[in-house]
Structures are given as C-alpha cells and as structure tokens.
Amino acid sequence: MHATAIENLIEKFEQLPGIGRKSAERIAFHILEHMSSDDARSMAAGIIDAKEKICLCQTCQNLTDTNPCKICSSPKRDNSIICVVESPEDVSAIENTHEFNGLYHVLHGALSPMDGISPDDIKINELLLRLTDGGVKEVIMATNPTVSGTATAVYISKLLAPFDVKVTRIAHGIPIGSDLEYADKITLIKALEGRQIM
C-alpha cells in the first residue's frame, strides 16, 4: 500500500548488505520525512560520484581515486613489506591501527572452489608481478582465518617460494579483552600453538 516511489526506494535499500526490509523502510522514511531535498540530492550525487571516480589502484588493487593510490605513492611507507588482504575493508581495519607502515595487496576475494572462485578470479597474478621487481622482503598473509582465507594464504605462499621473500601469516589466538572460556576450540588450539616467551 506504499506509494510506488516509496516502495521503489525501499527496495533499493533492501539490496544493501545488513539492511533488511524493516531497516530499508526506516531509511526510506527518514529520507522522505527528515532529510532536506538538498541532502537527498547530495546523497544521490555521492553514490554516482564515488562510483565514477573510484577505480582499483594499478599496484595494490585497493579502491582509490588516484592511481597509484595514496598508500602506494606515499614516500613514507616501507616498500619492502606487503600485507595481503582479501578486501578493501581489511585495509581500512589495519590502517586504523596506525601500526603498519608497509604496503598492501587486495585480492578481492579468497579461493573457494565450491563458489567457483579460482586463482584467476582474484588478484594473485598482480601480486606476483609486484615481486618480480625485487625490493620486497616480506609478504604478510592477512587473509581471514576461514577455510577459504587459509587456503588462499597457503596457495599464495607456495607460489611465492621461488622468490627471495619471507612469507608470514598473521597470528591467530584469543582476542584481547575476551574470555578464555568463551573461545572456540580451534582458536584455543591456535593460541596454545602460537605461544611465545614472555
């Protein structure tokens, strides 16, 4: 019984990740009831603008509006370390720690034969290309600790064997602030295996 334009708007927002029917309705009504026409226009323009301006960095494959991206072209970053992640969100997460000063490589996915995602579907060749130049001393595999993320890390580490480069994997263990008793079995095993001298 919604007006067509409202229903249409609700359906658009329903397509977004984490937005169900209820949230989509709430957002649509917010735009119609509480947003000025200018703000609504500016939101619409923001979507088109980002979609038009953003492309993949020719080097690290992260989303960027300059090419190469800000990180790849920064003289302050350490060119000898590449951190390999699955998605641009992972780059944001690591950047927010302000503790990593190397470069990134975004795979845009992880190997998953079940979903038909093979090595050619993610940016593995682009990573190998970056190593042929030399200068890279360490590649940190920071793919997710899931089945496909781990498989991807193992697959890439084998490909990197011919190169003179150290391949490392981010540590798995009990998250800081959480409780041992709530940790799942595999995380606990990893935490024990990865124990370090204090």
* Three-class HEC string of 6-19: HHHHHHHHHCCCCC
Element (H, E) at 84: strand 81-85
Q: Hey, which residues does 103 pair with through a beta bridge?
A: 82
**Of 4, 97, 132, 196, which one interacts with a copy of itself (CB under 8 A)?**
4
Which residue's CB is nearer to a copy of itself, number 53 or number 166? 53
**Of 54, 129, 147, 186, which one interacts with a copy of itself (CB under 8 A)?**
54
Residues 149-188 within binding reach of a copy of itself (CB under 8 A): none
Segment contacting a copy of itself by CB under 8 A, of 46-54, 136-144, 167-175, 180-188: 46-54
Long-range residue pairs from 166-171, CB within 8 A, at least 24 positions apart, any chain: 166/137, 166/138, 166/139, 167/138, 167/139, 167/141, 168/138, 168/139, 168/140, 168/141, 169/140, 169/141, 170/140, 170/141, 170/142
Does position 17 interact with a copy of itself (CB under 8 A)? The reply is yes
Does position 66 interact with a copy of itself (CB under 8 A)? The reply is yes
In the numeric block, which tokens belong to residue 28? 């649509």
Q: Closest distance between a copy of itself and the C-beta of residue 125, in Å?
A: 19
User: What sections of 54-196 are H helices per DSSP?
Assistant: 70-73, 88-95, 124-132, 147-159, 185-193
Site string for a copy of itself, 68-107 (x = CB under 8 A): -xxx---------------xxx--x--x------------
Residue reference for tokens 């795979």: 107
Which residue's CB is nearer to a copy of itself, number 89 or number 134? 89
Segment contacting a copy of itself by CB under 8 A, of 36-44, 146-154, 157-165, 171-179: 36-44
Q: Hey, which residues does 168 pair with through a beta bridge?
A: 140
Q: Closest distance between a copy of itself and the C-beta of residue 41, in Å?
A: 6
Q: Which residues of the chain form contacts with a copy of itself (CB under 8 A)?
A: 1-6, 8-9, 12-13, 15-19, 23, 25-33, 35, 37, 39-54, 63-66, 69-71, 87-89, 92, 95, 108
